[in-house]
Amino acid sequence: MVDLVLRRARIDDAAAPVDIAVAGGVITEIGPELPSPGIDEIDCAGRVVIPGLIESHLHLDKALLDDERPNRDGTLAGAISVTAELKRGFTVASIRDRARRVLDLAIGNGTSVIRAHPDVDPIVGLRGVEALLELREEYRGRLDLQIVAFPQEGIIQAPGTLDLLRESLMRGADVLGGCSYNERDVADCRRHIDQIFDLAAEFDVPLDIHADFADDATDPRFAMADYIAEVTERTGRQGRVTLGHMTSLAGQDPARRAATLTRLAAAGIAVVPLPATDMHLGGRADTANIRRGIAPVRELWAAGITTAYSSNNIRNAFTPYGNADLLDIGLFLAQTCHLSGPEDLGRVLAMATTGAARVIGLDRYGLHPGAPADLVVLSCHRLSDVLLDRPDRCYVLKAGRIVARTTRIRELLPAVPA
Ligand SMILES: [Zn+2]
């Protein structure tokens, strides 16, 4: 007798449905018509089951601020300045309350793990980190939270930040962030990068860096990817560095871009496009043929780069949209990157599951015996329909326990007789 069996789950469009047995919070067996009964059973009846979705890059501390103060000009500079003003009034409790609303949405939408990037700087201090450390405990058993200490205001131009980052890691942040583009010149961008690599080595934590944000490649502060690859290799941190956005790749000429992608792949650096933000803040100076400014996903795949996508922001000055729903973001990425058909859409979906698991360094994850039973039962019957349908998340399981359930009834009514 096992704890739970999911019967007739569709995990492969080309094969018959299977049963998934769970014991002790872990998948123990997957196969057709498993004989072992479960204490509990869910009949999936051919519905799709996927591993829990992963937000590999989310600013929970700055979520849901758009009601308080929107970003009127819609630019990156506007978003940073509006948010810097709002941050002065943040308390641990106010951050926690907004973040909780997003976490609850995310769980209901099938998300099992979030890597969150709270700001750490002289304006907000450690309040974001403190709020998320509390939530990491509060949500244990429903959702796993990784915390990235993130210097949104820069390090060199915001004195005191490096000490706050160190303090964050001492208090339990899991990952060190960077925001190298938010420095005054290229020399300071390099110093920023050097300092975070030193600090990451001191605490032996992964790095997750906002290395650029531009829809062209003319500002050299946004072209630090090659330097980051060089430092990654020199310091032996291959496989433990992630770059978010990378919008400026889209503005490089193809030969230069190919060289950069080869460098990133060789250094084992992951890339996480954040299309909702990238599209909203990008192209603001264009008056015709407004550019998309999203990292070229198909080229990232072809280069063999570990790639995920994520929501980044929910309803704030950087992204005034969002429901913490990774299927919505996946469809948006597909639409904006010319990705279509079952093969492409399958790869896009995998960016929010197995790809994101690699990005955030999960050793045990997926649909196989030994992986945690973080599972989502969807209301559709083909994997290739998941992003197109954005189906109901009928059951969301964390370590084998149901943590959210959705039931929806739609009725089509006959016409009223004339
Ligand atoms: Zn971000």
Q: What is the pLDDT of residues 41-96, one digit of tens each?
A: 999 999 999 999 999 999 999 999 988 888 988 888 899 889 989 999 999 999 99
3-class secondary structure, 290: coil
From 162, 163, 269, 152, select the one nearest 213 (Cα to Cα): 152
Helix boundaries (H) for 57-144: 76-87, 92-108, 127-138
Residue 307 bridge partners (DSSP): 271
3-class secondary structure, 176: strand
pLDDT higher than threshold 90 for residue 257: yes
pLDDT higher than threshold 90 for residue 336: yes
Cα–Cα distance, 79 to 213 (Å, whole number): 12
CA of 401 to the centre of ligand 1 (A): 31
CA of 382 to the centre of ligand 1 (A): 32
Cα–Cα distance, 277 to 312 (Å, whole number): 7
CA of 210 to the centre of ligand 1 (A): 7
Residues 188-204 have a mean pLDDT of 98
The terminus-to-terminus CA distance of the chain in angstroms comes to 59
CA of 58 to the centre of ligand 1 (A): 6
CA of 142 to the centre of ligand 1 (A): 24
Residues 174-191 have a mean pLDDT of 96
CA of 312 to the centre of ligand 1 (A): 5
CA of 377 to the centre of ligand 1 (A): 29
Cα–chain center distance at 250: 20
CA of 5 to the centre of ligand 1 (A): 38
From 160, 156, 76, 96, select the one nearest 125 (Cα to Cα): 160
CA of 119 to the centre of ligand 1 (A): 10
Residue type, 416: V
CA of 17 to the centre of ligand 1 (A): 38
Q: State pLDDT tens for residues 365-410.
A: 999 999 999 999 999 999 999 999 999 999 999 999 999 999 999 9
Which pTM value belongs to this model? 0.97
Evaluate whether 281 touches 248 at the Cβ level (below 8 Å).
no
pLDDT at position 168: 98
CA of 308 to the centre of ligand 1 (A): 13
Cα–Cα distance, 220 to 343 (Å, whole number): 36
